[in-house]
């Protein structure tokens, strides 16, 4: 499947998180994005170095600036389970705006055409690193990284595109 691109409508899909009582909850992407401008970014894996030290912190640090430019939701997706995503989110106690959502089976990631087979590295199926700006379910910006790079999907690059 071809990767999601500018002008495409994002597919709907079910993602998961743990609520404050540690109960699994599901949320549909369209319920988060319909009628709004949202940033959806994904990382190859929770707790991995670039994801944990650069990608997520950048969106947390720039969240207020993104919000001031009309972004309603900032969503981080990873092909990890909802327990891992909850624990990973705890590493960022200052986070007020980034939602950590799990795509444990890579179902949504595959629907976007952004799955990545890292089995040879012991990681299984993961997500490519990317950042999308979506306005009322239509992709306005699709910054998709090549290989293991981190150059176009940062919060700074998304701010430049808004």
Q: Is 76 a catalytic residue?
A: no
Question: Is the residue at 9 inside a domain?
Answer: no
Q: What is the number of domains present in the chain? A: 1
pLDDT digits (tens, 9 = 90+) for 25-61: 999 999 999 999 999 999 999 998 888 899 999 999 9
pLDDT digits (tens, 9 = 90+) for 63-91: 999 999 999 999 999 999 999 999 999 99
| Domain assignment of residue 100, given as a range | 14-161
d(CA 108, CA 102): 10
Q: With cut-offs at 50, 70 and 90, classify the pLDDT of residue 146.
A: confident
Cβ of 12: how many Cβ atoms within 10 Å? Answer: 14
Question: Is the residue at 147 inside a domain?
Answer: yes
Question: Is the residue at 119 inside a domain?
Answer: yes
Which of the residues 18, 33, 40, 51 is marked catalytic? 51
Tell me what the pLDDT averaged over the chain comes to.
95
């Amino acid at each position: 499947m071809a990767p999601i691109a500018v002008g495409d409508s994002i597919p709907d899909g079910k993602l998961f998180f743990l609520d404050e009582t540690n109960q699994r909850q599901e949320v549909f992407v369209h319920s988060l994005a319909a009628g709004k401008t949202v940033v959806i970014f994904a990382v190859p894996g929770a707790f991995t170095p670039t994801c944990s030290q650069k990608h997520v912190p950048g969106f947390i640090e720039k969240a207020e600036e993104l919000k001031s430019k009309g972004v309603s939701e900032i969503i981080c997706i990873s092909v990890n389970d909802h327990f891992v995503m909850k624990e990973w989110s705890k590493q960022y106690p200052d986070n007020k705006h980034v939602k950590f959502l799990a795509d444990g089976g890579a179902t949504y990631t595959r629907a976007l055409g952004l799955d990545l087979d890292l089995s040879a590295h012991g990681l299984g199926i993961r997500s490519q690193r990317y950042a999308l700006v979506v306005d009322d379910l239509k992709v306005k910006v699709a910054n998709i990284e090549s290989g293991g790079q981190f150059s176009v999907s940062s919060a700074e690059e998304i701010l430049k595109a808004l």
